[in-house]
Amino acid sequence: MSKINLGIIGGGQLGSMLSMAAKKLNIKTTIYCNDSSAPAQNFCDEFIFGEYNDNQKILEFVDKVDIITYEFENIPYETLNGINKKKKVLPKPSINRLIQHRLAEKDFINKLNIRTTQYTLVQKKTDLDSLNDLLPGILKTTTMGYDGKGQYPIKSIKDIDSLNIDFSKEYILEKLIKLKKEISVIITRFGNNNYEIYEPIENTHENQILKYSKIPAEISKDIFDQSKNWAIRISEELKYIGTLCVEFFVDKNENLYVNEIAPRVHNSGHLTINAYNISQFENHVRAVCSLEKIPVKKLSNAKMVNLIGNQIQPYRQNIKLNDKEFFFDYLKKEIKDKRKMGHITTLI
Ligand code: ADP
Ligand code: MG
């Protein structure tokens, strides 16, 4: 059989790592991205630059590949669904549509009787007047948010005027949780009750951007088991194919909440590259390309540090690493404030 050509929409670091994992499996990758300087073009076999509503360009991409996946969720549903009529898109476009909308996502999770923060839809400024119960809280755009973008912490109703919020957009207001910890669980589902799951990862954010991840997470046995069970239930309910990440909050009273779901490989799982026999990226490629599922085995505990903005500089200037340290440079052309530029994983 000729080599499989996997199409990937999105050309950031996650696309790069998917391409590297595919290469190891002798799978070709073609990336489609709306950023002409996308870093993943350094790692894929072929790169196509185009907008996500440029049907002509997208058709060119779809004709070249056998199957399509994506590395970020903010792709218009119409685009993914249109592609899916010609070649299979995994995870299914309907799953991405559900998860890219914070309200639909949280409603879905609650229907499974899985706890989330308390939340409500906010469509206009006056909606906030009656929402004192949800304060202090965080106002979040219902769509297109990532790395804390589109979020406004609100202590009291009088804060609203000074925040210059654009109410032509829709928001949800979420009650603030008194966080003890944040964890994530990554699972790769191949079919009915057929999945591989990684142990919970403990995450620390700075300014709403992930800074550190580590395994093992310092959590109780109950939280360990419950978080994995909830991730399994969510992926089964979605009939998900590929790698999915569930982000959780643990509050000061040891209650577990689902924060959000990422229908893709996830930054907190970078450490799976070095700490496991099969990374989240390889597992994603295996699942969407219908390859063999291999049981995951942890090889080592690990911690990962994201290098944000110019924190990458010293590492680019040849810092000495020992044999337990692995440095990844995403090869982004421009260093920008709050931009993830690379990471270091250390086996511990
Ligand atoms: P994004 O889509 O940008 O990742 P999240 O909803 O995951 O948005 O929020 C980013 C981070 O902000 C979280 O990981 C957490 O640290 C903090 N945060 C968000 N919502 C809450 C909340 N309701 N209570 C406490 N912290 C929160
Ligand atoms: Mg998040």
Question: What are 28-85's pLDDT values in tens digits?
Answer: 999 999 999 999 999 999 999 999 999 999 999 999 999 999 999 999 999 999 999 9
Dihedral angle, C-alpha 334, 338, 339, 345, nearest 10 °: 120
Q: Which of 100, 174, 259, 260 to mutate to test the pocket of ligand 1 (most atoms within 8 A of CB)?
A: 259
Residue bearing the bigger pLDDT, 165 or 219: 219
For residue 180, which ligand has an atom nearest its CA?
Answer: 1
In ligand 1, the atom with minimum distance to the C-alpha of 150 is 3
pLDDT at 141 over 80: yes
For residue 105, which ligand has an atom nearest its CA?
Answer: 1
pLDDT at 144 over 90: no
Ligand 1 contacts CB of residue 124 (under 6 A): no
pTM: predicted TM-score of the whole model, two decimal places: 0.96
Ligand 1 center to 60 CA (angstroms) = 38
Residue pLDDT, tens place only, 155-167: 988 888 888 888 9
Listing from the earlier edge strand, what are the strands of the sheet with 28-33?
Answer: 46-49, 28-33, 5-9, 67-70
Ligand 1 contacts CB of residue 174 (under 6 A): yes
Give, to the nearest 10 degrees, the angle between helix 77-84 and helix 55-64: 40
Ligand 1 center to 207 CA (angstroms) = 10
Ligand 1 contacts CB of residue 260 (under 6 A): yes
Instruction: Give the E-state strand segments of 131-234 in sequence order.
Output: 137-141, 151-154, 171-175, 179-191, 194-197, 201-206, 209-215
Ligand 2 center to 233 CA (angstroms) = 20
Side-chain half-sphere exposure of 154, counting CA atoms within 13 A: 30
What pLDDT sits at residue 163? 84
Ligand 1 contacts CB of residue 179 (under 6 A): yes
In ligand 1, the atom with minimum distance to the C-alpha of 179 is 25
Ligand 2 center to 51 CA (angstroms) = 25
d(CA 116, CA 106): 7
What pLDDT sits at residue 148? 79
- On whether the CB atoms of residues 271 and 304 are closer than 8 A, the answer is yes
Ligand 1 contacts CB of residue 211 (under 6 A): no
Ligand 1 contacts CB of residue 294 (under 6 A): no
Ligand 1 contacts CB of residue 150 (under 6 A): no
Ligand 1 contacts CB of residue 196 (under 6 A): no
Ligand 1 contacts CB of residue 73 (under 6 A): no
Across 3-16, average pLDDT: 97
Q: Which of 139, 179, 208, 212 to mutate to test the pocket of ligand 1 (most atoms within 8 A of CB)?
A: 208
φ and ψ at residue 244, rounded to 5 degrees? -135, 150
Across 172-198, average pLDDT: 97
Q: How confident is the model at residue 1 (pLDDT cuts 50, 70, 90)?
A: low
Ligand 1 center to 230 CA (angstroms) = 19
Across 126-133, average pLDDT: 88
d(CA 14, CA 40): 8
Residue pLDDT, tens place only, 257-287: 999 999 999 999 999 999 999 999 999 999 9
pLDDT at 4 over 70: yes
Ligand 2 center to 247 CA (angstroms) = 7
